[in-house]
Amino acid sequence: MLREEVVSLVSLRRNAHSTAKHLTAFLPTTREEMAARGWDQLDVLIVNGDAYVDHPAFGGALIGRFLEGRGFRVGMIAQPRWDSPEDLLRLGRPRLMVGITAGNLDSMLNKLTAQKKVRGEDQYSPGGQTNLRPNRASIVYANLCRQAFPGVPIVLGGIEASLRRIAHYDYWSDSVRRSVLLDAKADLLIFGMGERPVWEVAERLRKGETIQQIRGVRGTGHTLRKGEWEELPRSRYVQDGATVFLPSFEQVTADKAAFSEMSRKFQYETNPGNGRPICQPHGAEAIYLNPPAEPLSTAEMDGLYDLPFTRLPHWTYSEKIPAYETVKHSIVTMRGCFGGCTFCSITEHEGRVIQSRSAESVIREVRTLRRMGDFRGVISDVGGPTANMYQMTCKSDEIERACRRLSCVHPDICENLQTDHRPLLDLLGQIRKEPGIKKVFLASGVRYDLAERSPEFIRDLAQHHTGGQLSVAPEHSRKDVLDRMKKPGIESYERFAEEFQCQSQAAGKEQHLVPYFISGHPGSTLEEMIDLALYLKKNGMRPRQVQDFIPTPMSMATSMYYTGLDPFTGKAVYTAKDMKEKRLQKALLLYWDPAHHDEVREALRQAKRSDLIGTRPHCLVPPAEGQGALPRYMKRKVQPRASRGGGG
């Protein structure tokens, strides 16, 4: 592990490479590695809640390599001890700043499930070990860095900082918390994908500005003291250049309607083309957020992924890192999502504008993959948040920059959205032709309402890019619940499923969709979940996985969960908050599994639907006792199977 002192580099890595090569292959994590580069001091120290994996899918490494490529001396301390600042001192005091990320996941989501139980594995730690990062890691690391490096600017970044940048509901404490910027007492917060803002901040510090002078960088937030924020001009119109004031922390804590208003107002300022500065008072202080950073161009995305990543975990790790094993032979082609699903926080972090790499850049990475010693010709995924949004844009940059829609695909696909799948089809075709490439999968999933517009894409998907099963996410069957999610109607999924099966048969393959569903989402009562369970049974679908809704910071569904209000309409929304009810809702979707039958029967009785308990064809579960009851040996937990009916 990185926190342990490296005593003998030769004994840790006995292979054909020289020790010097190991010492300079990664961003420095020890003094020995700094010395091998001829460095006596870092410019930027990155403190990372994840293990150090030098792969572009890991945010800390991505930002570190990006800054290194611009001439900054960058070092990495991954998963430091948090009982004292001593572990942070091993690389010395950085000259410009400390950048802090909790990791690729919010640290509370990383630790606890929807039932608030401790997870058995940390995917981003060696060996899947737990407890290698603290709860609320951004805050803890910031406090440690202040002790270790008095006077050095502290900059928060990563998804935890991004999604907690305003007052927010915290599911794990069941409370409204302040902006993480205030709780961490950091100097600056970078939100969203941080390449542009972190470069500007580091460059201005290098030129001699103080952190207090760096106030206007897009994609950053800072605190304002009393007397600084009260007289800011308040915006009335989108183009007036003034500041949007959100309801204060005190207001959103005391009044759920004010929290709902805050959530709605915030969402409309996420387009870099027309987003305005945001101010939110917290007592005598306030947080001030500049407009979002501009998205990267294709050339800039190419440059980012052309950086000299080793694509490996740091060589001091002796145990596998599960998240790395999942993505090591995958390729990111794009970032961002214009879907606007209310339960998802991708848009709040990566933005709505799709940023895509060129085909040439992707092919260069394919050739890099081919040179990896353990690569066997199978690319596990080519995609991003949604694989088939690659190179999809608005037909006009002017329209896109002025647009205030929160979703380009809900309630209908916008007429200005270019949904052409040819760039993706061409790219996949080029990858397949590369020497040594045997299979190319789209494991990150597809948006089926877009896919059904391109029969050619579904044909190639079934023929070339599915390994027997394809994950898709219809989420629910009820239109009212799907509208709360900003997801297309179930009919769209059914059309896609039918076409996918036809194309699979035409290709001579037996392939199946693996549909994902959410239980406990705002708008879902037991009645809605029973309807979904009946839909699943009618179509012969047995979900392998059910996501119990987790209210992650800042999502619109989280606002509904906490307030009981739809932030866009102001109407009341029911949400299951009791842990037992959440379990019952989830059990209904696993109606076919005898291990869940007791909970399904309880849910049906509570909903006054005991008519669905029995042995008749329309029933969901058999009775617990008497005629038709399962033998005792069949009531043990069984492993879920892939659904086969109804395209699922």
The pLDDT assigned to 573 comes to 97
- Nearest CA among 321, 347, 327 for reference residue 335: 347
The pLDDT assigned to 241 comes to 80
526-538 and 597-606 helices, crossing angle to 10°: 130
* Cβ burial, residue 491 (10 Å; 0-12/13-18/19+): exposed
Cβ-proximal residues to 351 (8 Å cutoff; 6+ apart), any chain: 192, 193, 270, 272, 292, 295, 335, 336
How many CB atoms within 10 Å of residue 630?
13
Strand partners, 289: 221, 278
User: Coil, strand, or helix at residue 276?
Assistant: coil
Backbone angles phi, psi at 35, to 5 degrees: -65, -35
The pLDDT assigned to 380 comes to 95
Task: Extract the tokens encoding 266.
Answer: 């915030």
Ranges of H-type helices in 465-524: 479-485, 490-506
**Helix or strand run (H / E) with residue 518:** strand 512-519
How many CB atoms within 10 Å of residue 367?
12
| Cβ atoms of 278 and 244 closer than 8 Å | yes
The pLDDT assigned to 633 comes to 60
The pLDDT assigned to 410 comes to 95
For the stretch 570-601, pLDDT in tens is 999 999 999 999 999 999 999 999 999 999 99
| Cβ atoms of 377 and 367 closer than 8 Å | no
Exposure b/e, 239-265, CB count within 10 A at least 16 = b: eeeebbbbbbbebbbeebebbbbbbbb
**Running DSSP on this structure, what letter comes out for residue 467?**
S
For the stretch 163-206, pLDDT in tens is 999 999 999 999 999 999 999 999 999 999 999 999 999 999 99
**What is the 3 state secondary structure string of 82-123?**
CCCHHHHHHHCCCCCEEEEECCCCCHHHHHECCCCCECCCCC
For the chain, residues with pLDDT lower than 50 are 1-20, 638-648
Exposure b/e, 142-163, CB count within 10 A at least 16 = b: bbbbbebbeebbbbbbbbbbbb
For the stretch 508-529, pLDDT in tens is 999 999 999 999 999 999 999 9
Task: Extract the tokens encoding 39.
Answer: 């460095």
Cβ-proximal residues to 10 (8 Å cutoff; 6+ apart), any chain: 19
pTM above 0.85, yes or no: yes
Distance CA 337, CA 334 (A): 9
Distance CA 389, CA 606 (A): 42
User: Coil, strand, or helix at residue 222?
Assistant: strand
| Cβ atoms of 549 and 519 closer than 8 Å | yes
| Cβ atoms of 285 and 223 closer than 8 Å | yes
Integer angstrom CA distances of residue 277 from 218, 271, 274: 9, 11, 10
For the stretch 68-120, pLDDT in tens is 999 999 999 999 999 999 999 999 999 999 999 999 999 999 999 999 999 99
Amino acid, res. 603: A
User: Coil, strand, or helix at residue 284?
Assistant: coil
How many CB atoms within 10 Å of residue 60?
28
**Helix or strand run (H / E) with residue 513:** strand 512-519
